[in-house]
A and B are shown apart, each in its own frame.
Chain A
């Protein structure tokens, strides 16, 4: 233990000596997870005692849990002692303007196409940037504060708004919900916290860009969004990552709470490094996202465009507790080369006359495997529940796989549950037809895929829909011909 501490001190005090893509000074913990590591993270973030206790409890739960084996994905066993659980940019003085931000960092953002400039303000988007583990800058906080809206890094929320965090964190995704949620709860680095007060309609789209930067560093974001009675918020999450050779673990937890008459719209455009054509490298993405429609007539809507990651394991879900509450899940999941995705949703109907809608569009190309896994559960008390599910699969080429695992558990006779599924293929005939109209094969695939995914893309805010369209085309480049 004493030796461990010595290593810790050395690493923390010295500039990191090893190769990074971005030359920003960082400090890191050595590889591995222990109670000391959890304590170190909590201390680094100047957390109160209750937060540390919460983390330690999660850590103890995690120790007793096993990785889930049921997803339809295969990957080499992860050695959780080979992962670094803490890395943060070295410069920690708080910044007031962009001029104070490390120019190296700004250049990286520019490369990623993430404009942090004030132009964002003109387009009505506030940006909370997470580079590795510590939030660098939060914009427009003041403006939002006027409306009583809290939009800040999770670590700040723990210090500044402990009563809210204490009340809601782990209330939707308990620490021991699953292996990865327990891991996240023990070591989460940062993330976003949003609170919309009663009756307030958030005037701008809230947006966070995540980026995995440091080598061998798992990222464990923690996001919590609470919409109080009659409020509305639209939150956008977009991810990109530069090329990497080693597998990187990502295990985020997102919790949404919608009170009476509140609405939360959560949109994700995910484009992490998927690995190369041989399947080397790429991000392992094990995410737990869940929302609860706590109050009557509340609504939660998940929209996701998933094109990246070597492995995706993700089921954004809604617990429909309030009467007349609504849950929605719109998804486009693209897999190419050797990518594997096992993604879908869970809709838990508890309240009376609750409604859910699932639209899942899987696109498989190359040698990839794409699975939809969904559960619609209607409890005995859920009078008049209704669900509609549409699960479509589009195949490009004949070496890929599309799988559908729909589960329906209906315990109330008044429920109406509909499930539709289609499988189609972009065949030679369609491509030739497009070619004959002067459209080359790449453009034809883009046109067809965007048409196929339109119903989901339409759910995204305008500027993100355009971005997502481009992303779909880029992800499928070289998948035919």
Chain B
């Protein structure tokens, strides 16, 4: 089985500061990986580097996505090849309706795959159907993207976009942060509904509670720019119970 994503010894940083210090990770089709770790361990940097944010300099290692060198691709080409990032802080775009934004996005992806743009009626029907996954009201479609949305609504909108774009690999960057328990359940429900045997998900999170709703196949602990421990879903429970200090201690001993 060819992995969807294979990261080998990835090092990256911003300005002179190295943040990722040798990350290796393999994600296979059908899998859900959780990446946990305390603040500042490099979780969001990893998400940004995968999506292609320019501020980060890649200093070493390789990332292969669906058989191609991911690091060679522009952010938009990564997206077109099936990489999706659910942003920790989704931006607001005044004047651009959610529907118009998504139409542009979906049609760019279709164009890349050599497909015709979707007919407006078909597209509208698809949006209405997929919104139900995250219990979003149709009125959001005509509102400017994320403008005046609550924190929870923005996160639901991210998952709605994911449902529309049908990515091969979705990276959820702290999608659970700032969500109340109902919103968390709704977002998790959406992600679960989108799980398929041919796609994969990486969930980046601070807390274990999202993993009560989305059961991961593998849990990794990122600490000081490295994955210091990987295990099954029970690792997340252990972290919840014992905190991160024992991991830090173990890592320090290894080093």
Rounded to whole Å, the gap between the CB of A425 and the closest CB of chain B is: 12
Contact, CB under 8 Å: A448 / B104: no
Contact, CB under 8 Å: A448 / B95: yes
Contact, CB under 8 Å: B96 / A451: yes
A447-B96, A448-B96, A451-B96 are known contacts. Are A437 and B91 too (CB-CB below 8 A)? no
* A429 within 8 Å of B (CB atoms): yes
Contact, CB under 8 Å: B95 / A452: yes
Contact, CB under 8 Å: A435 / B90: no
* B153 within 8 Å of A (CB atoms): no
Which listed residue (A437, A440, A441) contacts B101, Cβ 8 A? Answer: A437
B84 nearest CB neighbor, chain A only: A436
Q: Given the complex, which residues of A lie within 8 Å of B51, measured CB to CB?
A: 432, 436
Contact, CB under 8 Å: A432 / B75: yes
Give residues of chain B (75-130) contacting chain A, Cβ–Cβ below 8 Å: 75-76, 78-80, 84-85, 87, 90-91, 93-97, 100-101, 104-105, 108-109, 112
* B144 within 8 Å of A (CB atoms): yes
Determine the distance from Cα of A451 to Cα of B93 in the docked complex, in whole angstroms: 8
Rounded to whole Å, the gap between the CB of B84 and the closest CB of chain A is: 8
Determine the distance from Cα of A14 to Cα of B78 in the docked complex, in whole angstroms: 64
* A95 within 8 Å of B (CB atoms): no
Which listed residue (A428, A430, A435, A453) contacts B52, Cβ 8 A? Answer: A435
Give residues of chain A (430-457) contacting chain B, Cβ–Cβ below 8 Å: 430, 432-433, 435-441, 443, 447-448, 450-455
Contact, CB under 8 Å: B96 / A438: no
B53 nearest CB neighbor, chain A only: A432
Contact, CB under 8 Å: A436 / B96: no
Contact, CB under 8 Å: B53 / A451: no
Give residues of chain A (408-444) contacting chain B, Cβ–Cβ below 8 Å: 424, 428-430, 432-433, 435-441, 443
The listed residue with most A CB atoms (<10 A of its CB), out of B74, B76, B91, is B76
A447-B100, A451-B96 are known contacts. Are A433 and B91 too (CB-CB below 8 A)? yes
Determine the distance from Cα of A451 to Cα of B144 in the docked complex, in whole angstroms: 9
Determine the distance from Cα of A441 to Cα of B95 in the docked complex, in whole angstroms: 17
Give residues of chain B (29-61) contacting chain A, Cβ–Cβ below 8 Å: 51-54
Q: Contact mask A374-407 → B, CB, 8 Å, 1/0?
A: 0000000000000000000000000000000000
* B199 within 8 Å of A (CB atoms): no
A429-B91, A433-B90, A438-B109 are known contacts. Are A451 and B75 too (CB-CB below 8 A)? no
Contact, CB under 8 Å: B94 / A447: no
The listed residue with most B CB atoms (<10 A of its CB), out of A424, A433, A437, A448, is A437
A422 nearest CB neighbor, chain B only: B94
A432-B75, A433-B90, A436-B79 are known contacts. Are A443 and B108 too (CB-CB below 8 A)? yes
Chain A contributes a number of interface residues (CB within 8 A of B) equal to: 22
Contact, CB under 8 Å: A436 / B85: yes
Rounded to whole Å, the gap between the CB of B48 and the closest CB of chain A is: 9
Contact, CB under 8 Å: A430 / B109: no
* B11 within 8 Å of A (CB atoms): no
Contact, CB under 8 Å: B95 / A437: no
B109 nearest CB neighbor, chain A only: A438
Determine the distance from Cα of A410 to Cα of B108 in the docked complex, in whole angstroms: 51
* B203 within 8 Å of A (CB atoms): no
* B161 within 8 Å of A (CB atoms): yes
Determine the distance from Cα of A85 to Cα of B138 in the docked complex, in whole angstroms: 59
* B165 within 8 Å of A (CB atoms): yes
Contact, CB under 8 Å: B104 / A440: no
Q: Given the complex, which residues of B lie within 8 Å of A447, measured CB to CB?
A: 96, 100-101, 104
Which listed residue (A435, A436, A439, A453) contacts B104, Cβ 8 A? Answer: A439
Determine the distance from Cα of A128 to Cα of B39 in the docked complex, in whole angstroms: 67
Contact, CB under 8 Å: B91 / A438: no
Determine the distance from Cα of A437 to Cα of B162 in the docked complex, in whole angstroms: 9
The listed residue with most A CB atoms (<10 A of its CB), out of B53, B78, B93, is B93
Rounded to whole Å, the gap between the CB of A198 and the closest CB of chain B is: 40
Which listed residue (B84, B87, B90, B94) contacts A451, Cβ 8 A? Answer: B94
Contact, CB under 8 Å: B95 / A436: no
Contact, CB under 8 Å: A433 / B95: no
B77 nearest CB neighbor, chain A only: A438
Q: Given the complex, which residues of A lie within 8 Å of B78, measured CB to CB?
A: 436
Contact, CB under 8 Å: A438 / B80: yes
Rounded to whole Å, the gap between the CB of B174 and the closest CB of chain A is: 16
Those 5 A-B pairs whose CB atoms lie nearest each other, nearest first: A451-B95, A451-B96, A435-B75, A438-B79, A437-B105
- Between A and B, 29 residue pairs with Cβ closer than 8 Å are A428-B54, A429-B91, A430-B91, A430-B93, A432-B75, A433-B87, A433-B90, A435-B52, A435-B79, A436-B75, A436-B85, A437-B101, A437-B161, A438-B76, A438-B80, A438-B105, A438-B108, A439-B76, A439-B104, A439-B105, A443-B108, A450-B95, A450-B96, A451-B95, A451-B96, A451-B100, A452-B94, A452-B95, A455-B95
Please give 13 more A-B residue pairs, beta carbons under 8 A apart, in addition to A433-B90, A437-B108.
A429-B91, A432-B51, A432-B54, A435-B75, A437-B105, A438-B80, A438-B105, A438-B108, A438-B112, A439-B76, A440-B74, A451-B93, A451-B96
